[in-house]
Each structure stands twice: as C-alpha cells, then as structure tokens.
Amino acid sequence: MSDQNLSIAGPRLKWAPFVAAGRQFGSQRIFDRAFKRCFDLSAAVTALMLLLPLLALFALAIWAIDGGSPFYSHRRLGRGQKSFGCLKFRTMRTDSQEALARHLSEDPAALAEWNLTCKLKDDPRITPIGRVLRKSSLDELPQLINIIKGEMSFVGPRPIVETEIEKYGDAASSYFAVRPGLTGAWQVSGRSDTTYAERVRLDRQYVETQNFTGDLLIILRTIPAVFMVKGSY
C-alpha cells in the first residue's frame, strides 16, 4: 500500500468512534420518542375512559347555557409546523369575536394587555361556567383526543397560533421539533402571570433538556398548579 493511500485511510479511521456515537445518539432519540408516544397513547386512552362521565356532564352544562356546541376547535401549529384542530370545551359566548372587538375598542388598557400577552384577565367573552373551567384548566381535557390522534403530547410547549411564531424568533425551530403538550414547563411556572419571553425561554429549555423523568415531574407539578389556579384566566 502506498504512502498516499495510508494518508487518506488514517483520518477516515479516526472518524469511526464519532460516527458510532452519532448513530447511538440517534437510536436513543428514536427510542425516547417511541417510548414517549406509547406513554401518551396509553395514558390518554385510560384518562379518557375514566373521565368520560365528567366530560359528558361538562358538555351538557355548556350546551344548556345557549344551545351552542360544547366543544371548540381552534387551528394551532404543532410539530413540523403542521396545523391541527386543538380541542377545548367552549368557554366563550357564541358572539365572542364581536364582544372582544367591542371591549378592546372601548378599553385602552385591555388593548395593551391583549397586544402584550394575547390574553385578558377580565375577558368579556367568557361565560360563567367557562370561567370555572378555565380557572381549573378543565376546559383543556378534550385535548386527550388530540393526544390519541398523535397531534399533541401530555408534556410539551403549549400549542400556538400562526401569529405567535414571530414572538418565538429563533426559538421557533425548537418549538416545532416536538409535539405541543397538554401541560408543560410554562403551565407549572406561573402561566399567564409570566411574560411571553419567559414562556419562550421555558419552551426552548424543555426541548433542549427533555427526558421522561422530567416529563413525569412536570405532570406531578401540574396537579397542585391546577388546584392553586395560579396564572390561569
């Protein structure tokens, strides 16, 4: 074998450990995603079966107010920037858009709050039962169906609308790398009491450090967060 051939073969052999490590890391990520999906599917099906009577009761109560559909589907963006119908119990009046426009035009402070957080602490669109469901986050239980369909996960960044992409900046790629979650780091860290920039930071941090143990801790922290209704409105 010539010296020229040896000089070429040498560096190639040095890359072998790095290639093997890369393959091992890739295989681990695939396993982690598959395990997370199996947990999501089994847990969501179980929860849906156990909570079915309660969900039916909520649906009936919402329908009894104005005869409108008890469910609401809003287009959100998920993994890979794919759009999907994010399900919730309907907590707003049937003329919610008109009520919001009227309120924002009459209240400059509310307009400033809306522009900053896309939420209102005193939202005129919300029905009495809707306020209870929102405070307890029970309005999001229909998203168990989104989890079963593979559009969401139990834990991940909360789903966003297209107009929110700009607020994520270069962190948008992190958001679109995973399925949005029924709960997440933002949910257990103050929710609407935090700034949007803090929400983006928490979402990015979750994606970069996610693991199954961390997911379980977030799920456990969600329970007291729901009962304390901190940052929920």
Q: Where are the alpha helices (DSSP H) in the chain?
A: 3-14, 16-66, 96-106, 108-117, 128-136, 143-148, 165-168, 172-175, 196-209, 212-228
Distance between CA atoms of residues 229 and 233, nearest Å: 8
pLDDT at 5 over 70: no
Residue 174 lies in a domain: yes
pLDDT at position 27: 61
Are 48 and 145 a contacting pair, CB within 8 Å? yes
Residue 106 located in a structural domain: no
Instruction: Read off the pLDDT of residues 165-191 as tens digits, 9 standing for 90 and up.
Output: 999 999 999 999 999 999 998 888 876
Q: Which long-range contacts (CB under 8 A, 24 or more apart) does 210-215 make?
A: 210/155, 210/178, 211/32, 212/32, 212/35, 212/36, 212/39, 215/36, 215/154, 215/155
- Can you give the pTM of this predicted structure? 0.78
* Tens-digit pLDDT profile for residues 141-150: 999 999 999 9
Task: Please report whether residue 1 resides in a domain.
Answer: no
7: in domain = no
* β pairing state of 71-77 and 181-183: unpaired
- Residue 24's pLDDT band, with cuts at 50, 70 and 90, is very low
State the helix-helix crossing angle for 3-14 and 16-66, rounded to 10 degrees: 30
Asked if residue 28 is part of any domain, the answer here is no
State the total domains in the chain: 1
For tokens 């979750």, the residue is: 206
Any domain includes 141: yes
Q: Is residue 121 part of a domain?
A: no
pLDDT tier, 22 (very low <50, low <70, confident <90, very high otherwise): very low
Residue 194 in any domain: the answer is yes
The mean pLDDT of 190-203, rounded to a whole number, is 83
Question: Within a 10 A sphere around the Cβ of 207, how many other Cβ atoms?
Answer: 18
Domain enclosing residue 201, as ranges? 37-91+126-228
